[in-house]
């Protein structure tokens, strides 16, 4: 049995899957907290990794996650240059609360509103919290649904991996 | 053997070649979710068997596929209900592809053919959206054009009919919206901005009513402005709707009015928000006769906090179809670390107050067929935009969030509710109430303590202790939840809700529930087993009543 051939096959198979996993942020408009519209596909972080986190003011695990990251955010930024973009899917019931909410939480994130869940839908997000990791070239390299305490440590391991130029294969 | 391997090799290489050239072929992504529940007969919580389906096993799910390539995007959703889970609309039955679209976006042009979701302003005159958890999906099926005339001026135009289960409604919906954004117009991104918008929507539905001369075309229009300056944000929208006699307003001919406004201030550790709502006869559907969440054209923001802890959520607020008014005020402040309240790590305190009242109406009646006076066929009532005699709800709550030490975090909250059960749950409408004292009002005091203990890296224990005290309705409750998670893959939880204060001693029962979840990449599995109490499940301003049930349920969700 030709094991070399089998290995080649497996390698090719994994390569083709990693190619499928690559994707860009779609061209959908978000609103910033000053009411300006921005194109989501133009979000960037000067070639450094970027976290995109879908959340809402009423979503407890989302707030838990963003608070847990916020505790370490200064260190994360300094060490890895990462930036977190928090996309709120609060509808008009709560969208006016977003700015006072993040101010009082003391979050230092870039925050946008996705009031009718257009970007959420375009990225096929079922439930929040949902987190995407985007590499320096704007490719989505990883995503995760839900939040458990400790998930942020795993996320940071992946960011460090990206900065070392390693592939993320999960 | 070699031949097979060779074939496989060719296939895989072709496949990977296709992927390498993916820029030419576009990308396909999607998500998938399925929920299934096996029901057990429970004669204590459900003596009549209303929540015990004949099928015994029910399952519902969907698959979304989105294809994108450059300026093109196309997608579809396959949905499957065999049959829909108890508590969700039964109209969703069987399977099909009720959602499909093609969208082309190029520079300032954005054209959609097929199904789409859209919102004008705060949604007072137009909002189509989906909330899968509620079984709400009022997607449009038709055409939509969004065009940026020049930076800062955006126009939207649309036409179509709305989805109702696996069909589309009879009413034709047409609409247009124009928005002006000062910063974008001037090409700067200053922290002071003015956004003004105007929209109009109209619905056509044929009328063959033998009694009333019902308008076939009903129009609604709105004006809105949002002024943002540094720490201040002020938003206001006023909307008007022409005569729209329908089954939800009991066929009155009064035009509708709506105001939704809020202002906020945020600086440093402080956030303040004030809001006001006034909805007079403003429920708008694309068919006159429809129920629940069917064929809603607009959205009336409830302006009340959405509670998510299980016990306080039993008394959630939902917007009243025949009009309401109310306000909301909220203050959030983070006490710095090192201060008396702030302690070692800082403490966040949030105070929220909101209320809702029926409108101050003086009814106009005429004799009905059985000579009982009715508002149907008249202008309904005179209205003075004040707060009426009937209170629908009041919600005051305080939340304190703090870090106790390196591995412990706590959230402590207190709730005080006044909840008009007759109106909010039993659907008693205000024109049938001659004496507001006959309404069943529930007074609730509730407390929740949530503690998160980070035991060691990746291992944590979350606990919730909830207590809800009331002498009315189903009486007092206590709840305890323990959730152990091992990030990033596993969680195990046990919960017991105990309705110890139920007026009927036979119903002072425990509702135990065990659940576990497993996450692998973007795929998540969750299993629950136990009793679920009857409750109100809300998303946005819309709620549904979920009956008490007992059984085994499963959820699988994934995206790719």
- Tell me if B334 and A126 make a contact (CB, 8 A cut-off): no
Residues in chain A within 8 Å Cβ distance of B189: 34, 36
What residue in B sits closest to A11 (Cα-Cα)? B12
Query: How close, in Å, is residue A61 to chain B by CA atoms?
Result: 11
Domains contained in chain A, number: 1
Q: Which tops the pLDDT comparison, B93 or B343?
A: B93
Q: Where residue A4 falls among pLDDT bands split at 50, 70, 90?
A: low
Taking CA atoms, A157 is separated from A79, A150, A164, B30, B455, in Å, by 12, 11, 11, 27, 20
Query: How close, in Å, is residue B267 to chain A by CA atoms?
Result: 7
For residue B538, pLDDT beyond 50: yes
- Tell me if A124 and B540 make a contact (CB, 8 A cut-off): no
DSSP string, B274-300: EEEEEEES---BSSSS--TTTTB----
pLDDT at B299: 94
Residues in chain A within 8 Å Cβ distance of B541: 93
Whether complex ipTM tops 0.85: yes
3-class SS shares of chain A: helix, strand, coil, % to 5: 40, 20, 35
Residues in chain B within 8 Å Cβ distance of A151: 487-488
Q: Tell me the C-alpha distance between B179 and A69, whole Å.
A: 36
For residue B12, pLDDT beyond 60: no
Query: How close, in Å, is residue A47 to chain B by CA atoms?
Result: 21
Q: Which tops the pLDDT comparison, B19 or B56?
A: B56
Residues in chain B within 8 Å Cβ distance of A16: 12, 15-16, 19
Mutate: best of A40, A91, A106, partner B, most B CBs <10 A = A91
Q: Which tops the pLDDT comparison, B94 or A35?
A: B94
- Beta bridge partners, B461, equal B453, B484
On whether residue A159 sits in a domain, the answer given is yes
Sequence-distant (6+) residues with CB within 8 A of B266 are A99, A100, A102, A103, A104, B231, B233, B272
Residues in chain B within 8 Å Cβ distance of A91: 123, 129, 299, 301, 540
Mutate: best of A7, A8, A28, A34, partner B, most B CBs <10 A = A34
Closest CA to A57 of A9, A10, A96, A84: A96
For residue B251, pLDDT beyond 50: yes
- Tell me if B183 and A36 make a contact (CB, 8 A cut-off): yes
- Tell me if B19 and A16 make a contact (CB, 8 A cut-off): yes
Digit-coded pLDDT (tens) for B420-445: 999 998 888 888 888 888 999 999 99
Q: Tell me the C-alpha distance between B34 and B110, whole Å.
A: 32
pLDDT at B44: 87
For residue B19, pLDDT beyond 80: no
Query: How close, in Å, is residue B433 to chain A by CA atoms?
Result: 29
Q: Tell me the C-alpha distance between B547 and B52, whole Å.
A: 10
- A103 vs B271, B305, B540: nearest CB: B271
| Domain CATH code at residue A58 | 3.40.30.10
Radius of gyration, alpha carbons of chain B: 26
Q: Where residue B539 falls among pLDDT bands split at 50, 70, 90?
A: low
For residue B292, pLDDT beyond 90: no
- A153 vs B301, B332, B458: nearest CB: B458
The mean pLDDT of B149-176, rounded to a whole number, is 96
Q: Are B81 and B60 in contact (CB under 8 A)?
A: yes
Mean pLDDT for all residues in chain B: 90
- Tell me if A124 and B462 make a contact (CB, 8 A cut-off): no
Closest CA to B282 of B363, B189, B359, B212: B359
Q: Tell me the C-alpha distance between B435 and B320, whole Å.
A: 19
- B19 vs A2, A19, A106: nearest CB: A19
Q: Which tops the pLDDT comparison, B100 or B134?
A: B100
Digit-coded pLDDT (tens) for A38-81: 999 899 999 999 999 999 998 888 999 999 999 999 999 999 99
Residues in chain B within 8 Å Cβ distance of A92: 119, 121-123, 127, 260, 299, 301
Q: Which tops the pLDDT comparison, A69 or B17?
A: A69
Sequence-distant (6+) residues with CB within 8 A of B11 are none
Query: How close, in Å, is residue B389 to chain A by CA atoms?
Result: 25
- B9 vs A9, A20, A26: nearest CB: A9
Name residues 34-73 of chain A within 8 A of B (Cβ): 34-37, 58-60, 64
Q: Tell me the C-alpha distance between A168 and A14, whole Å.
A: 12
- Tell me if A101 and B462 make a contact (CB, 8 A cut-off): no
For residue B3, pLDDT beyond 80: no
On whether residue A5 sits in a domain, the answer given is no
On whether residue A32 sits in a domain, the answer given is yes
Domains along the sequence of chain B with CATH: 107-301 (2.40.160), 306-440 (no CATH)
Closest CA to B299 of B313, B279, B273: B279
On whether residue A149 sits in a domain, the answer given is yes
pLDDT at B18: 45
On whether residue A55 sits in a domain, the answer given is yes
Q: Tell me the C-alpha distance between A119 and A40, whole Å.
A: 8
- Tell me if A58 and B308 make a contact (CB, 8 A cut-off): yes
Q: In what helix (H) or strand (E) does residue A37 lie, and over which residues does it extend?
A: strand A37-39
DSSP A68: H
Q: Which tops the pLDDT comparison, B46 or B261?
A: B261
Q: Where residue B203 falls among pLDDT bands split at 50, 70, 90?
A: very high
Closest CA to B269 of B231, B228, B229: B231
- Tell me if B271 and A100 make a contact (CB, 8 A cut-off): yes
Q: Where residue B165 falls among pLDDT bands split at 50, 70, 90?
A: very high
pLDDT > 90 fraction of chain B, expressed in percent and rounded:
66
Q: Where residue A8 falls among pLDDT bands split at 50, 70, 90?
A: low
The structure tokens listed for B414 are 């207190």
The mean pLDDT of B22-38, rounded to a whole number, is 84
DSSP A24: B
pLDDT at A63: 92
The mean pLDDT of B326-345, rounded to a whole number, is 91
Least confident piece of the model among A9-23, B106-120, B386-400 = A9-23
For residue B15, pLDDT beyond 50: no
Mutate: best of A27, A62, A104, partner B, most B CBs <10 A = A104
Q: Are B79 and B100 in contact (CB under 8 A)?
A: no
On whether residue A17 sits in a domain, the answer given is no
A11 — contact with chain B (CB < 8 Å)? no
Q: What is the 3-state secondary structure of B208-256?
A: CCCCCCCCCEEEEEEEEEEEEECCEEEEEEEEEECCCCCCCCCCCCCCE
- Tell me if B487 and A23 make a contact (CB, 8 A cut-off): no
Residues in chain A within 8 Å Cβ distance of B123: 91-92
A116 — contact with chain B (CB < 8 Å)? yes
On whether residue A170 sits in a domain, the answer given is no
Mutate: best of A108, A137, A149, partner B, most B CBs <10 A = A149
Sequence-distant (6+) residues with CB within 8 A of B394 are B353, B354, B355, B356, B416, B417, B418
Q: Where residue B217 falls among pLDDT bands split at 50, 70, 90?
A: very high
The mean pLDDT of B193-207, rounded to a whole number, is 96
Report CA B53 to chain centroid distance, whole Å: 26
Give me the domain span that covers residue A94.
24-163
On whether residue A2 sits in a domain, the answer given is no
pLDDT at A160: 94
- A106 vs B264, B269, B541: nearest CB: B269
pLDDT at A21: 44
Sequence-distant (6+) residues with CB within 8 A of A88 are A55, A56, A57, A95, A98, A111, A112, A113, A114
Q: Where residue B542 falls among pLDDT bands split at 50, 70, 90?
A: low
């Amino acid at each position: 049995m030709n094991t070399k051939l089998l290995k080649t096959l497996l390698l090719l198979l994994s390569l083709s899957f990693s190619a499928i996993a690559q994707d860009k942020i779609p061209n959908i408009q978000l609103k910033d907290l000053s009411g300006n519209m921005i194109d989501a596909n133009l979000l960037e972080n000067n070639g450094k990794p970027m976290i995109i986190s879908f959340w809402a003011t009423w979503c407890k695990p989302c707030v838990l996650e963003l608070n847990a990251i916020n505790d370490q955010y200064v260190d994360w930024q300094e060490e890895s240059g990462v930036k977190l973009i928090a996309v709120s899917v609060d509808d008009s019931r709560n969208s006016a609360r977003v700015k006072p909410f993040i101010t009082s939480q003391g979050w230092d994130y870039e925050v946008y509103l996705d009031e009718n869940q257009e970007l959420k839908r375009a990225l096929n997000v079922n439930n929040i919290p949902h987190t995407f990791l985007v590499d320096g070239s704007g490719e989505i390299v990883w995503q995760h649904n839900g939040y458990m305490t400790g998930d942020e440590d795993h996320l940071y391991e992946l960011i460090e991996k990206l900065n070392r130029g390693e592939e993320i294969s999960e | 053997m070699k031949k097979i391997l060779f074939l496989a090799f060719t296939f895989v290489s072709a496949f990977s070649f296709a992927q390498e050239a993916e820029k030419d072929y576009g990308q396909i992504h999607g998500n998938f979710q399925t929920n299934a529940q096996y029901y057990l007969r429970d004669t204590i919580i459900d003596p009549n068997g209303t929540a015990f389906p004949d099928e015994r096993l029910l399952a519902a799910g969907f698959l979304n596929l989105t294809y994108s390539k450059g300026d093109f995007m196309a997608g579809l959703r396959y949905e499957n209900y065999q049959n829909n889970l108890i508590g969700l609309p039964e109209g969703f039955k069987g399977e099909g592809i009720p959602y499909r679209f093609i969208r082309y976006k190029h520079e300032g042009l954005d054209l959609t053919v097929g199904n789409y979701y859209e919102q004008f302003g705060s949604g007072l005159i137009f909002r189509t959206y989906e909330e899968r958890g509620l079984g709400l999906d009022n997607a449009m099926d038709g055409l939509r054009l969004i065009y940026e005339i020049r930076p800062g001026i955006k126009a939207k135009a649309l036409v179509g009919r709305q989805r109702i289960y696996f069909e589309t409604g009879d009413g034709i919906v047409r609409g247009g919206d124009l928005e002006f954004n000062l910063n974008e117009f001037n090409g700067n991104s200053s922290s002071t901005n003015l956004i003004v918008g105007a929209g109009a929507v109209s619905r056509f539905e044929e009328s063959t009513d033998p009694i009333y001369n019902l308008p076939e075309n009903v129009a609604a229009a709105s004006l809105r402005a949002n002024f943002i300056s540094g720490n201040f944000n002020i938003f206001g929208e006023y909307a008007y709707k022409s005569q729209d006699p329908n089954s939800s307003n009991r066929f009155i001919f009064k035009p509708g009015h709506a105001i939704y406004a809020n202002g906020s201030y945020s600086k440093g550790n402080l956030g303040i928000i004030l809001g006001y709502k006034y909805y007079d006869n403003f429920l708008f559907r694309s068919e006159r006769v429809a129920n629940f969440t069917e064929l809603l054209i607009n959205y009336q923001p409830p302006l009340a906090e959405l509670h998510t802890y299980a016990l306080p959520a039993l008394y959630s607020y939902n917007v009243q179809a025949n009009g309401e008014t109310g306000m909301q005020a909220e203050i959030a402040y983070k006490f710095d670390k090192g201060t008396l309240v702030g302690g070692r790590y800082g403490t966040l305190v949030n105070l929220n107050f909101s209320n809702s009242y029926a409108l101050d109406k003086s009814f106009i009646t005429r004799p009905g067929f059985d000579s009982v006076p009715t508002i149907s066929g008249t202008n309904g009532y005179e209205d003075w935009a004040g707060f009426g005699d009937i209170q629908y709800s009041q919600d005051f709550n305080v939340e304190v969030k703090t870090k106790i030490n390196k591995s412990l975090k706590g959230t402590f909250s207190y709730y005080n509710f006044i909840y008009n059960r007759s109106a909010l749950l039993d659907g008693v409408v205000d024109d049938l109430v001659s004496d507001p004292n006959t309404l069943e009002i529930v007074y609730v005091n509730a407390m929740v303590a949530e503690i998160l203990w980070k035991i060691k890296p990746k291992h944590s224990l979350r606990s919730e202790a909830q207590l809800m005290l009331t002498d009315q309705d189903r009486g007092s409750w206590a709840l305890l939840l323990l959730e152990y998670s091992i990030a990033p893959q596993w969680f195990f939880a046990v919960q017991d809700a105990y309705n110890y204060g139920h007026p009927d001693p036979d119903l002072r029962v425990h509702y135990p529930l065990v659940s576990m979840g497993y996450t692998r990449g973007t795929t998540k599995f969750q299993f629950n087993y136990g009793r679920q109490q009857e409750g109100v499940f809300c998303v946005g301003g819309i709620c549904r009543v979920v009956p008490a049930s007992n059984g085994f349920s499963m959820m699988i969700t994934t995206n790719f």
